[in-house]
Structure 1
Amino acid sequence: MSLRAHLVVERPAFRLDAELDVPDGEVVALLGPNGAGKTTALRGLAGLTPLSGGRIVLDGAEVHHLPPEHRRIGVVFQDYLLFPHLTALDNVAFGPRCQGVGRAAARRIAAGLLERVGLADFAGVRPGRLSGGQAQRVALARALAVRPRLLLLDEPLAALDAHTRLEIRSELRRHLAGFDGATILVTHDPLDAMVLADRLVVVENGAVVQTGAPAEIARRPRTDYVARLVGLNLYRGEADGTHVTVGDVRLSSAERLKGPAFVAFPPSAVALYRTRPDGSPRNLWKAVIDGIERHGDNVRVHLDGPIPLAADVTPSAAADLDLVPGQEVWAAVKATETHAYPA
């Protein structure tokens, strides 16, 4: 492992207690709601927020007692924080100069990194004349210029518009793939995390609640926050064979389990009816429409009933059903798209 960290930060109304292990070459995304402790963890690793306890081991050496400039850590801040009075070249050369590298050598290092990120022609340009995407790449080059063993990125795409974000996301993935140290990315955007990271670590209320590959997290969420993040209805209940009992509802699932279990299904697996449908759908109950909103190309209907859930229907189906808040409907969930797994 390049990084082994146990981060404890105590404040009057908040406590972060999280462990992070990141091997060389891996990109880990820290995900979580606002106030979960993501940025606190990042600042603790960088030495910008003092730890109340725990330790940080980088390449086998303890670094938590060292000042930030001695930790071999590169940081890309959300707003990039480039020096406005310096050119792109001198911004990137700043780190090596602080490490004692001569001016000419530092500028050679900076020129090579600007070429690597596709900005060789902008070496003499100051930050005020750079686009958001260009500034982000200069900030990345500056972080890499100190030859870090740990790279920290705090919402690196948040300041970009949607079109630029799409382009820079793919470029950033390529640059991170070429970095041989450990990388930790803080983001609240699930798409950024899924595209950029090899592994996700989900933090809620100062603690790690789930970790795993993006596909595994998306398939088997373990908290309401993660379920909302990946767009699933999630419940915890008691499994008995191919059924999971959640409160007063007995849900049929595609898996056979026994004992405490999570059960999840996408909003697209929910069908709505004005009257009880013919046949005998296995997962069927009455619900009341709590709210309706546009969701991509569909309409998302929020339902209150024995269990709260979200259903996605087409605009034409919503019009045919004449759906309005407060209306009572029948909700049916396809058992083949309802998946259960141990809690």
Structure 2
Amino acid sequence: MGTRPPHTLSGKHPVPGAGLDAELRLKRGRFTLEVHLSCPPGRVLALLGPNGAGKSSVLRALAGLVPLTGGHLWLDGWDHTATAVEYRPIGMVFQDYLLFPHMSALDNVAFGPRCQGSGRAASRERARELLEHMDLAEHAASRPRQLSGGQAQRVALARALAAGPRMLLLDEPMAALDVSTRAAVRSRLRHLLEEFDGVTVLVTHDPLDAMVLADHIVVLEGGRLVQEGTPAEVARRPRTTYVARLVGLNLFRGRAEGDTVTLTRDGAQVGPVATVRVREPYQGPALVAFPPRAVALYRERPQGSPRNVWRLRVEGVERFGDQVRVLLEGALSLAADITPAALTELEIARGEWIWAGVKAAEVECYRF
């Protein structure tokens, strides 16, 4: 099927093959991106990954801002691989929103329909409807510098939606917000995205943004897809150290025999006593994971319930909220979350050796 001509599709009735199907192959200098993405209409796909993983390259490739060296981009059953940027049915919201500073909120939102050939009156009427829907009617005459971060974000989103896109690209939509307003704006954004019947692709560094806003998560590292799944699946069973840190889990690789996993690193056994007991028997290459809150710390070797006990050295103590994170090294490296009262009682400091215990029932074991 050929390239679809310019359009203003509302998308109320998705056609067969609706949604996103993209095979993106891109080479820029030493960096190579090879990733397949798919997402049905009405869903939010979040891209996570460390700096340099390829998240921004994916967004730019989807938008048509960089040419593919191979692959395809299908949206709602139409091939947009070679479609020019201005004709792709895509709306984009950048990190800093990029609102036109000399225009009012109303004219910013009306800009898209005007570019598509809609008349001034019709474009402004569409803009008023969107601003009212986003509780911004009273700010229609305001210029960007007069808006709060959350208000500017909603104006940018309204501008992206005004042209009737079939895909929204959101580049770190919370990055420009202060911490005190982020939770409220995130909740409102989730509500607005639930009403959008096209595909949304969200790039973020914040796992909370992904967990709250996304229906499906894709994790990129080095230009490759290393894990994908629902937020619950990714959080419960991370497959790389980066993902484990992101969702706050201790993660190890090893080989399982029954209820015991012997840990390995690059194919070699880790440490002299690097084994972990798990709650369910398993055979073969495996990943084991458990949360820092499952780790109990002791001055003396514990007796009784913990199936896993290691003597480890304290490498760091970090306070966050009402918890304290203790970073430990030795036969294995792990993090333990304890209360400030427990820290005071243990009287531990960097460089000291203590005992760490984890019940086997707290340890998740799954296929590598």
TM-score bracket, shorter-length normalisation: over 0.9
**Match for 1:255 among 277, 280, 305?**
280
| Distance in structure 1 (CA, Å) of the matches to 2:150 and 2:157 | 11
**Match for 1:142 among 131, 136, 159?**
159
Contact 2:102 2:143 in 1 (8 A): yes
Per the alignment, residue 298 of structure 1 pairs with 323
User: Is the counterpart of residue 231 in structure 1 residue 248 in structure 2?
Assistant: yes
| Distance in structure 2 (CA, Å) of the matches to 1:103 and 1:73 | 21
- Give RMSD over aligned pairs: 1.1
Contact 2:63 2:85 in 1 (8 A): yes
Contact 2:105 2:143 in 1 (8 A): yes
Per the alignment, residue 24 of structure 2 pairs with 7
2:114 is paired with a residue whose SS is: helix
Per the alignment, residue 61 of structure 1 pairs with 78
| Distance in structure 2 (CA, Å) of the matches to 1:299 and 1:133 | 32
User: Is the counterpart of residue 278 in structure 1 residue 277 in structure 2?
Assistant: no
Deviation at 1:7, TM superposition (A): 1.1
Per the alignment, residue 68 of structure 2 pairs with 51
Deviations 1:173-231 (A, max 9, x none): 11100000111011011111111111111111111111111011111000001100111
Deviation at 1:13, TM superposition (A): 2.5
AA matched with 2:347: D
1:125 is paired with a residue whose SS is: coil
Deviation at 1:280, TM superposition (A): 6.6
Deviation at 1:295, TM superposition (A): 2.7
Per the alignment, residue 28 of structure 1 pairs with 45
User: Is the counterpart of residue 89 in structure 1 residue 106 in structure 2?
Assistant: yes
User: Is the counterpart of residue 71 in structure 1 residue 85 in structure 2?
Assistant: no
| Distance in structure 2 (CA, Å) of the matches to 1:290 and 1:179 | 47
Deviation at 1:278, TM superposition (A): 2.8
Give the TM-score normalised by the residue count of structure 1. 0.98
Deviation at 1:316, TM superposition (A): 1.6
| Distance in structure 2 (CA, Å) of the matches to 1:201 and 1:336 | 29
AA matched with 2:30: A
Deviations 1:16-62 (A, max 9, x none): 11110011111011111111111110011001122222111111111
Per the alignment, residue 80 of structure 1 pairs with 97
| Distance in structure 2 (CA, Å) of the matches to 1:106 and 1:230 | 43
Deviation at 1:296, TM superposition (A): 2.5
2:235 is paired with a residue whose SS is: helix
Per the alignment, residue 307 of structure 1 pairs with 332
User: Is the counterpart of residue 18 in structure 1 residue 43 in structure 2?
Assistant: no
**Match for 2:204 among 177, 187, 190?**
187
Deviation at 1:319, TM superposition (A): 1.6
User: Is the counterpart of residue 326 in structure 1 residue 360 in structure 2?
Assistant: no
AA matched with 1:75: M
Give the TM-score normalised by the residue count of structure 2. 0.91
Change (3 A) 1:144 1:326: same
Deviation at 1:239, TM superposition (A): 1.1
Contact 2:171 2:204 in 1 (8 A): yes
User: Is the counterpart of residue 168 in structure 1 residue 185 in structure 2?
Assistant: yes
Per the alignment, residue 316 of structure 1 pairs with 341
Deviations 1:129-151 (A, max 9, x none): 11111110000000001100011
Per the alignment, residue 288 of structure 1 pairs with 313
**Match for 1:38 among 31, 38, 55?**
55
Deviation at 1:279, TM superposition (A): 3.4
| Distance in structure 2 (CA, Å) of the matches to 1:244 and 1:148 | 50
| Distance in structure 1 (CA, Å) of the matches to 2:303 and 2:216 | 45
Moved more, 291-300 or 202-211: 291-300
2:57 is paired with a residue whose SS is: helix
AA matched with 1:293: E
1:302 is paired with a residue whose SS is: strand
1:316 is paired with a residue whose SS is: helix
Deviation at 1:299, TM superposition (A): 1.2
Contact 2:305 2:359 in 1 (8 A): no
1:134 is paired with a residue whose SS is: helix
Deviation at 1:163, TM superposition (A): 2.0
Per the alignment, residue 123 of structure 2 pairs with 106
| Distance in structure 2 (CA, Å) of the matches to 1:11 and 1:328 | 48
